[in-house]
């Protein structure tokens, strides 16, 4: 008998069939029982009609990364039902919609088949054919609720919470769940179903179950973002849509907004608007994904060279080109770090949890203004669109860091200023904003070669001195970016960043159980801070875990810490699915073979 609270459910449905609500209710009911849980949606680039899968992982130890196979598959989609049998472990369970006709002689013998007549069950729930098509998905919530032992009142309360004041929706959904539960009670009581959900009380009291995009939008809203420009692109669109919804509610007074959102004509324009707004003093952000990042390249160089605060929030998807728009990858790392022609390097933030997405909202805006440059935040589809259990976000109280902006009085006191003069030795000059009320406050910004006063210059010494100052500024960035989080534990190091963390935490436990003790460094930003160098120095080998083919983080390590990069071994995952612990364990074991 497997222990309680340790199973994976995959529900196979059709895009646009209403299964999102039912999956969410199932997931949140488990969450409300205090159980650690996560939900991942594997969806097509399509509006309606193509297959989609939702996976819920329940795990008492808090490991919610993807598993390769499920314990329970709910097969609701006739198009995929045959293949869906391959998603379940040997000895697992398939709950099959009995209206799906398939050749049972060809079905695997090593799984338990539970056939449920969903259509028949849902028929008495509603007279409306249209509504029944949606409610049919609530029936499996009821069936699973009964089989797993999720109390009816928990599911009902989750439905209340989900649908708010829509009384008729609440009623029909509850009825559909009850019908499913009723059916299971009457017909499936003799099925030996080993998986149980057991309440963990108030264990999730200080946690939320949230997607990274909403968390990012919240972070930006609480972090003083006043300007957003965007061009819709999967998987970043929901970030801006959340920002709009939230800011409409919390940043509007008497119908007047203290923020502006512009849906641009393309990403060339969205980043240019951000650069214009940032130059004029607004805390400005654009959100995008790979193809958009490519289009933003020219303006990224302008922000770097003319030293203009700007933030790009890149929710990465699978490239190259249009790639797999609805799958996840950490493939934009090199593009982001070096975005644009000429010698450019950008500060990159790497959140690995929704809580960090929230925190980095303000951090990104602060760093952009302090360093007067472009900051790129690299999230990804797994972190951004899937639901992760995370600590409740702390209310931010730190003041905004606005950087070196001179007022008219300061300009007067200094008798003018030179925009790009390194007065303080940190590579960061002083700037003024348009409208600063002093005849000497203005300067002429340009992406062309310029001297300290921002005047046009093609002088070789002037050009070189300016580029060297930009290098000094990048060195200053090292002291300001979020530091890595290190957990010591062995002579072998695991270096991870972004959404890989979920799987890496789990892999470490599995590796330790088999005798491979590891330390862990969660990298949270580029450029590397000194801790990264020390971590490499202090470990015999360091596995660099990333979700791309070419080992992009490894390439940056080789470029920046060449004397230590020889210690590093790549762990790579790049099939578009979220990283799983097994992949990490397998590749680390493989790497450890010579030393075992």
Residues 429-448 that bind other proteins (CB under 8 A): 432-439, 441-448
Using CB under 8 A as the binding rule, the residues of this chain from 454 to 483 that contact other proteins are 455-456
Binding of other proteins at residue 150 (CB under 8 A)?
no
The secondary structure of residue 430, as a DSSP letter, is -
* Site stretch for other proteins (CB under 8 A), options 70-78, 126-134, 213-221, 513-521: 213-221
The CA distance from 138 to 59, in Å, is: 23
Q: How far is the CB of 161 from other proteins (least distance, A)?
A: 7
Our CB check for other proteins shows the closer of 32 and 57 to be 32
Restricted to residues 109-128, the positions that interact with other proteins (CB under 8 A) are none
Answer for which of 37, 139, 159, 218 binds other proteins (CB under 8 A) is 218
244 binds other proteins (CB under 8 A): no
Closest separation between CB of residue 435 and other proteins, Å? 6
- Quick check: 589 binds other proteins (CB under 8 A)? no
Q: Which of residues 9-38 bind other proteins (CB under 8 A)?
A: 28, 31-32
Tokens linked to 469? 């100052």
The interface region with other proteins, picked from 78-86, 169-177, 276-284, 463-471 by CB under 8 A, is 276-284
Q: Judged by CB under 8 A, which stretch of 44-52, 107-115, 119-127, 427-435 contacts other proteins?
A: 427-435
Using the contact rule CB under 8 A, the part of the chain among 14-22, 71-79, 322-330, 398-406 near other proteins is 398-406
Closest distance between other proteins and the C-beta of residue 424, in Å?
Answer: 22
**Which residues in 74-113 are b (16+ Cβ under 10 Å) and which e?**
bbbbeebbeebbebbbeebbbbbbeebeeeeeeeeeebee
Q: Based on the shown chain and the rule CB under 8 A, indicate whether residue 275 belongs to the binding site for other proteins.
A: yes
258 near other proteins, rule: CB under 8 A: yes
How far CA 517 is from CA of 381, 490, 494, 532, in Å, comes to 30, 5, 10, 19
Which range in 81-89, 183-191, 208-216, 533-541 contacts other proteins by CB under 8 A? 208-216
3-state secondary structure of 127: coil
Q: Shortest Cβ distance from residue 547 to other proteins (Å)?
A: 25
Q: Which two tokens stand for residue 527?
A: 């450029």
**Residue range at the interface with other proteins (CB under 8 A); choices 43-51, 201-209, 315-323, 503-511:** 201-209
141, two tokens: 């919530």
Per-residue tokens: 69: 């196979």
Distance CA 445, CA 308 (A): 10
Left (φ > 0), alpha (ψ -120 to 50) or beta: where does 427 sit?
Answer: left
For residue 138, the minimal CB distance to other proteins (Å) is 20
Q: Which is nearer to other proteins, 302 or 312 (CB)?
A: 302
User: For residue 498, is it left (φ>0), alpha (ψ between -120 and 50) or beta?
Assistant: left
CA dist 71 and 91 (Å) reads 8
Q: Which is nearer to other proteins, 300 or 333 (CB)?
A: 300
Number of shown-chain residues binding other proteins (CB under 8 A): 76
Task: State yes or no: residue 253 binds other proteins (CB under 8 A).
Answer: yes
Rounded to the nearest 10°, the torsion over CA 497, 388, 508, 481 is 30
- Contact call for residue 295 and other proteins (CB under 8 A): no
In whole angstroms, how close is the CB of 225 to other proteins at the nearest point? Answer: 8
Selected from 227, 243, 360, 497, the binder of other proteins by CB under 8 A is 227
Using the rule CB under 8 A, is 256 a contact of other proteins? yes
123 or 294: CB nearest other proteins: 294
Q: Which two tokens stand for residue 331?
A: 């493939």
Q: Which of residues 154-173 bind other proteins (CB under 8 A)?
A: 161
Any idea what DSSP says for residue 45?
A: S
Cβ neighbors of 53 (< 8 A, separation 6 or more) are 10, 11, 12, 13, 41, 42, 43, 87
Of the ranges 109-117, 172-180, 250-258, 460-468, which one interacts with other proteins (CB under 8 A)?
250-258
Judged by CB, which is closer to other proteins: 455, or 572?
455
With binding defined as CB under 8 A, does residue 224 bind other proteins?
yes
Supply angle C-alpha 473, 479, 480, rounded to 5: 90
Question: What is each CA distance from 272 to 85, 282, 409, 431, 438, in whole angstroms?
Answer: 49, 13, 30, 19, 27
- Three-state SS letters, 249-309: HHCEECCEECCEEEECCCHHHHHHHHHHHHHCCCCEEEEECHHHHHHCHHHHHHHHHHCCC
Minimal distance, residue 124 CB to other proteins, in Å: 32
Token duo for residue 588: 């680390």
Indicate the helix (H) or strand (E) that contains 527. none
Q: Does the footprint of other proteins cover residue 409 (CB under 8 A)?
A: no
| Residue 322, helix vs strand vs coil | coil
Binding flags for other proteins, 354-393, as an x/- string (CB under 8 A): --------------------------------------xx
Q: Toward other proteins, which CB reaches closer, 101 or 205? A: 205
Of 402, 404, 534, 567, the one binding other proteins (CB under 8 A) is 402
């Amino acid at each position: 008998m497997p222990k309680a609270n340790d199973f994976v459910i995959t529900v196979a449905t059709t895009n646009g069939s209403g299964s999102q609500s039912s999956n969410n209710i199932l997931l949140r009911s488990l969450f409300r029982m205090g159980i650690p849980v996560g939900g991942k949606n594997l969806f097509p680039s399509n509006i309606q009609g193509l297959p989609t899968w939702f996976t819920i992982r329940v795990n008492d130890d808090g490991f919610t990364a993807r598993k390769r196979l499920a314990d329970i598959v709910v097969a609701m989609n006739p198009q995929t039902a045959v293949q869906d049998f391959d998603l379940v472990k040997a000895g697992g369970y398939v709950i099959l919609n009995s209206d799906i006709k398939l050749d049972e002689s060809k079905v695997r013998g090593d799984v338990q088949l539970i056939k449920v007549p969903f259509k028949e069950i849902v028929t008495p729930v509603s007279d409306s054919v249209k509504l029944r098509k949606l409610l049919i998905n609530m029936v499996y919530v009821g069936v699973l609720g009964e089989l797993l032992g999720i109390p009816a009142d928990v599911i009902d309360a989750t439905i209340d919470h989900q649908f708010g004041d829509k009384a008729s929706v609440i009623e029909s959904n509850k009825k559909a769940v009850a019908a499913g539960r009723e059916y299971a009670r009457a017909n499936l009581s003799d099925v030996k179903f080993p998986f149980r959900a057991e309440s963990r009380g108030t264990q999730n009291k200080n946690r939320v179950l949230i997607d990274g995009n909403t968390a990012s939008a919240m972070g930006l809203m609480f972090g003083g973002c006043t300007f957003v420009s965007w061009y819709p692109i999967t998987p970043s669109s929901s970030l801006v849509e959340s920002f709009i919804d939230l800011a409409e509610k919390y940043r509007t007074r008497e119908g007047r907004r203290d923020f502006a959102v512009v849906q641009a004509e393309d990403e060339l324009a969205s980043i240019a608007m951000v650069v214009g707004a940032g130059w004029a003093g607004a805390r400005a952000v654009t959100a995008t994904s790979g193809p958009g990042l490519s289009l933003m390249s020219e303006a990224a160089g302008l922000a770097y060279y003319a030293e203009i605060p700007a933030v790009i929030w890149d929710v990465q998807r699978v490239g190259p080109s249009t790639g797999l728009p609805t799958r996840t990858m950490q493939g934009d790392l090199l593009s982001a770090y070096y975005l644009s022609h000429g010698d450019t390097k950008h500060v990159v933030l790497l959140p690995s949890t929704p809580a960090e997405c929230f925190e980095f909202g303000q951090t990104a805006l602060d760093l952009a203004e302090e360093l007067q440059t472009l900051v790129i935040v690299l999230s990804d589809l797994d972190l951004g669109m899937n639901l992760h259990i995370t600590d409740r976000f702390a209310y931010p109280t730190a003041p905004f860091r606005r950087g070196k902006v001179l007022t008219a009085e300061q300009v007067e006191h200094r008798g003018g200023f030179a925009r790009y003069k390194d007065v303080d030795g940190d590579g960061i000059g002083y700037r003024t904003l348009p409208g600063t009320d002093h005849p000497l406050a203005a300067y002429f910004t340009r992406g062309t070669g310029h001297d300290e006063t921002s005047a046009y210059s093609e002088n070789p010494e002037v050009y070189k001195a300016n580029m060297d100052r930009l290098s000094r500024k990048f060195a200053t960035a090292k002291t300001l970016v979020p530091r890595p989080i290190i957990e010591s534990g062995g002579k072998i190091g695991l270096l991870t960043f972004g959404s890989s963390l979920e799987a890496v935490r789990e892999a470490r436990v599995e590796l330790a159980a088999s005798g491979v003790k590891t330390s862990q460094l969660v990298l949270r930003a580029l450029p590397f801070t000194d801790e990264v160098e020390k971590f490499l120095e202090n470990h015999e080998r360091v596995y660099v875990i990333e979700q791309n083919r070419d080992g992009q983080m490894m390439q940056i390590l080789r470029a920046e810490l060449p004397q230590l990069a020889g210690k590093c071994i790549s762990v790579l995952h790049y099939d578009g699915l979220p990283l799983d612990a097994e992949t990490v364990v397998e590749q680390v074991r493989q790497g450890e073979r010579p030393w075992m």
